[in-house]
Amino acid sequence: MKRMMSFLLAGALALTGFAGVSATAQEGKLTVYASFYPMYDFATKVGGDRVTVVNMVPAGMEPHDWEPEAKDVIGLENADVFVYNGAGMEHWVDKVLATLSNQDLVVVDTSQGQTLLEGHSHDDDAQVADAAHEEDEAYDPHLWLGPLNAKAQMASIKQALVAADPENAAYYEANYAAQAAAFDALDADFRAALGALPNKTIVVSHQSFGYLCAAYGLVQESIEGLTPDSEPDPARMAEVIDFVKARGITTIFFEELVNPKIAETIAGATGAQTAVLSPLEGLTDVQAAAGGDYISVMRENLAALVKALQ
């Protein structure tokens, strides 16, 4: 029996050694897969030099319609942790996770435990809306745009890193504590700056600022629905133009990863100007090269909101 045990142990060690051939395992770092940019940024901040984080959606690409390729699935098979937003943002996630044979993968749905906003899309009345699409939009997935929601997402990620790598628990806890303070400061600055402004209504491209608006008493009028893939029809364009004129809205916000043509058309018809309000669904190559991150882009968003709502 003892012989058998040691034989099995030797076999297990040999297997472990075999798995250790991969570069990341040799460095002793966790491999973390993140479903798109904010998840990547939060995991990077908490994981520091003890993790290798892979952002599954390349810079400059919009994540709503993105789907994993074979290489991404292979990556997940070899990853230690997978972090995703949840609440319908990653429509591919259940299907892909069901195919994985990676039994040790720690999976984090960062929307768990959060109070979700219901998804109200302008497409709700569309007769052609397919069932899968409707299911995706039962909730507003854009949690990360509320700084305190984002902080809670980061806390979920921290817990997952601790679960996957308990030896480094104190390190992850310390990184999280530093980040949590930065998120609290961001929240306080949003609260102070936006609370003092006379105007509260923002006109935005797609309906992504629900959590931000709920936190700071703003109201969003979105040209498109919960995803940026729906071109507004002429009737919707006319409605928005009337809305902008009636309210004296000065700024039509657009997104850095989406063509600004529609925002420019509405601005042209109303005398408003256009400006970027980032839904942080990804960084552009320029933002990434300049060392931008969640906090820096949110501070640019705050400056843009203050300018527009004065």
Tell the smallest beta-carbon distance from residue 111 to Zn ion (Å).
14
Q: Which of residues 184-223 bind Zn ion (CB under 5 A)?
A: 208
Q: Which is nearer to Zn ion, 132 or 246 (CB)?
A: 132
Tell the smallest beta-carbon distance from residue 135 to Zn ion (Å).
16
Tell the smallest beta-carbon distance from residue 13 to Zn ion (Å).
47
Q: Which is nearer to Zn ion, 47 or 279 (CB)?
A: 279
Q: Which is nearer to Zn ion, 47 or 147 (CB)?
A: 147
Q: Which is nearer to Zn ion, 149 or 208 (CB)?
A: 208
Q: Which is nearer to Zn ion, 89 or 162 (CB)?
A: 89
Question: Would residue 236 be called left, alpha or beta, if left means φ above 0 and alpha means ψ between -120 and 50 degrees?
Answer: alpha
Tell the smallest beta-carbon distance from residue 157 to Zn ion (Å).
20
Tell the smallest beta-carbon distance from residue 226 to Zn ion (Å).
7
Q: Which is nearer to Zn ion, 129 or 180 (CB)?
A: 129
Tell the smallest beta-carbon distance from residue 255 to Zn ion (Å).
9
Q: How many chain residues are in contact with Zn ion, going by CB under 5 A?
A: 1
Residue nearest to Zn ion (CB): 208
Give the residues lining the site for Zn ion (CB under 5 A). Answer: 208
